[in-house]
């Protein structure tokens, strides 16, 4: 699922913050794939890059057994009056995906919008109060498949709200002020620097879940970093990340992102075309009618604060009768420039997003606290020699109040003040993935 998640992310604008839930999309597509045949089925399988027929149901079952976080996946098949889905298909998706079916008169616009939105709102704990707009109206719709995902996790080590302060975030569209959360010498985390990227994994109370930020070094352009990112690279970085004995100086932005990308076009660009065309084969879903998918609606929300992370996503697939269609110092981790992020489960991205920041060139930022005779001095910026991985080569000579001191970068510094990619993971499985720009 990591490859599919990164492929999706790369289809979004590199200059916009975005979040998607590969888990929600994979679940919805896998449900349809169970009733698909021919090229329709093979295109879905190829795009998802699945390892086995049962990997998604197994992942959903593991999510349901989560301890210490709130995690829920809900799926409902709204069916038009008179539409009969195959009994074997219905039994399979009920068993493997816990799908429930409900009759709905799609000719009643108000009832359709309210029923679907109420289901999504309840499933996402009101984080997504509406999936369908008030003017949504497709009276000829034969079925509407809805999948909703909700996640809420508290940090294993919370950020102190009193430490949160405003600072500059160097975005792709220029600098802006953001609220930054910080922890000095955090030991309950994993950290590494590789492939021109700093990686910080912050655990939730359920240690199987982590919020992971992939922060390119300031010498790396965010667009180049994202272009070279793959599911394999993401997994390699996660495997290399370890606990630092000194802890890590962490600075990351507090943010909330809501996205509703053009998912139908994105899936078509990933090679899923027959599902939306006259060649669609969903005979396993319904033998008496020729069905195709008319549209895919995907909405995701993520909120990162001092307490933890809340995320939700919903995917709706509109199905109609077939008709011809057109083709369409501790290490300092300071996330103040563009990054990609995600919520992961067992290495698979359940949510994925990106945050954008412009890359700053020049001096390497180093924040240290120097204690001399019980007086604290803060060195906010100094010149620092680093190698290609961002590691310090020589001690830094710094002048503080007229006195010369030799400072050593004892703690790794993670300062996310430029664009990055992030995700929520469980054992390397991405639940959510995104970018913050």
Q: What is the pLDDT of residue 58?
A: 86
Residues 202, 155: contact at Cβ < 8 Å?
yes
Residues 123, 314: contact at Cβ < 8 Å?
yes
Gap between the Cα atoms of 303 and 305, Å rounded: 7
- Mark whether 136 and 48 lie in a shared domain: yes
For residue 387, give both structure tokens. Answer: 């190698």
340: CB partners within 8 A, 6+ apart: 9, 214, 226, 229, 352, 353, 354, 355, 420, 421, 422, 423, 433, 434, 435
Q: Which helix (H) or strand (E) holds 167?
A: strand 165-171
Extended beta strands in 350-411, E state: 352-355, 368-372, 375-379, 396-400, 403-407
Q: What is the pLDDT of residue 410?
A: 59
- Mark whether 400 and 263 lie in a shared domain: no
Q: Which residue has the tokens 């290609």?
A: 388
Residues 386, 409: contact at Cβ < 8 Å?
no
- Mark whether 278 and 394 lie in a shared domain: no
Q: What is the pLDDT of residue 333?
A: 75
- Domain assignment present for 231: no
Q: Which domain holds residue 107?
A: 2-154+256-321
- Domain assignment present for 326: no
Q: What is the pLDDT of residue 322?
A: 62
- Domain assignment present for 218: no
Q: What is the pLDDT of residue 341?
A: 82
- Mark whether 126 and 268 lie in a shared domain: yes
Residues with pLDDT less than 50, the chain: 324-328, 357-409
Q: What is the pLDDT of residue 270?
A: 97
Please write the tens of the pLDDT for every residue from 266-284: 999 999 999 999 889 999 9
- Domain assignment present for 163: no
Q: Can you give the pTM of this predicted structure?
A: 0.83
- Mark whether 299 and 380 lie in a shared domain: no
- Mark whether 70 and 125 lie in a shared domain: yes
- Domain assignment present for 416: no
- Mark whether 12 and 107 lie in a shared domain: yes
DSSP class of residue 155?
B
Please write the tens of the pLDDT for every residue from 146-178: 999 999 999 999 999 999 999 999 999 999 999
Number of domains observed in the structure of the chain: 2
- Domain assignment present for 221: no
- Mark whether 373 and 313 lie in a shared domain: no
- Mark whether 25 and 142 lie in a shared domain: yes
Residues 67, 207: contact at Cβ < 8 Å?
no
- Domain assignment present for 400: yes
CATH of the domain at 33: 3.30.497.10
Residues 5, 253: contact at Cβ < 8 Å?
no
- Mark whether 316 and 393 lie in a shared domain: no
- Domain assignment present for 6: yes
- Mark whether 54 and 115 lie in a shared domain: yes
Residue 140: Cβ within 10 Å count: 11
Q: What is the pLDDT of residue 337?
A: 80
- Mark whether 377 and 272 lie in a shared domain: no
């Amino acid at each position: 699922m990591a490859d599919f998640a990164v492929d999706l992310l790369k289809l979004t604008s590199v200059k916009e913050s975005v979040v998607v839930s590969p888990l929600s999309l994979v679940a919805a597509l896998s449900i349809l794939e169970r009733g698909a045949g021919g090229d329709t089925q093979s295109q879905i399988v190829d795009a998802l890059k699945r390892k086995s027929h049962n990997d998604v149901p197994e992942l959903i079952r593991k999510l349901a057994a989560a301890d210490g976080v709130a995690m829920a996946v809900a799926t409902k098949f709204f069916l038009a009056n008179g539409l009969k889905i195959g009994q074997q298909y219905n039994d399979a998706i009920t068993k493997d995906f816990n799908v429930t079916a409900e009759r709905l008169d799609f000719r009643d616009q108000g009832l359709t919008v309210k029923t679907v939105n109420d289901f999504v709102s309840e499933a996402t704990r009101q984080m997504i109060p509406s999936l369908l707009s008030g003017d949504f109206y497709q009276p000829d719709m034969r079925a509407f498949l809805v999948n909703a995902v909700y996640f809420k996790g508290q940090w294993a080590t919370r950020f102190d709200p009193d430490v949160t302060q405003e600072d500059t975030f160097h975005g792709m569209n220029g600098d802006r002020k953001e609220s930054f959360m910080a922890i000095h010498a955090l030991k309950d985390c994993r950290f590494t620097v590789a492939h021109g990227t700093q990686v910080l994994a912050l655990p939730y109370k359920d240690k199987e879940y982590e919020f992971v930020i992939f922060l390119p070094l300031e010498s790396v352009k965010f667009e180049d970093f994202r272009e070279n990112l793959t599911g394999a690279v993401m997994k390699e970085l996660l495997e290399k990340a370890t606990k630092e004995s000194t802890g890590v100086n962490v600075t990351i932005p507090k943010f909330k992102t809501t996205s509703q990308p053009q998912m139908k076009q994105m899936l078509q660009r990933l090679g899923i075309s027959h599902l939306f065309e006259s060649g669609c084969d969903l005979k396993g879903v319904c033998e008496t009618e020729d069905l195709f998918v008319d549209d895919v609606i995907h909405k995701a929300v993520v909120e990162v604060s001092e307490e933890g992370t809340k995320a939700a996503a919903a995917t709706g697939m509109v199905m109609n009768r077939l008709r011809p269609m057109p083709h369409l110092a501790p290490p300092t981790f300071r996330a103040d420039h563009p990054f990609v992020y995600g919520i992961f489960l067992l290495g698979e991205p359940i949510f994925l997003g990106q945050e954008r920041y412009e890359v700053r060139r020049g001096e390497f930022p180093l924040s240290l606290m120097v204690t001399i005779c019980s007086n604290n001095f803060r060195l906010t910026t100094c010149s620092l020699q680093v190698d290609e991985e961002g590691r310090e080569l020589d001690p830094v000579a710094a002048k503080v109040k007229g006195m010369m001191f030799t400072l050593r970068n004892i703690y790794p510094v993670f300062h996310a003040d430029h664009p990055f990619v992030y995700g929520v993971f469980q054992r390397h499985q991405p639940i959510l993935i995104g970018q913050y720009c």
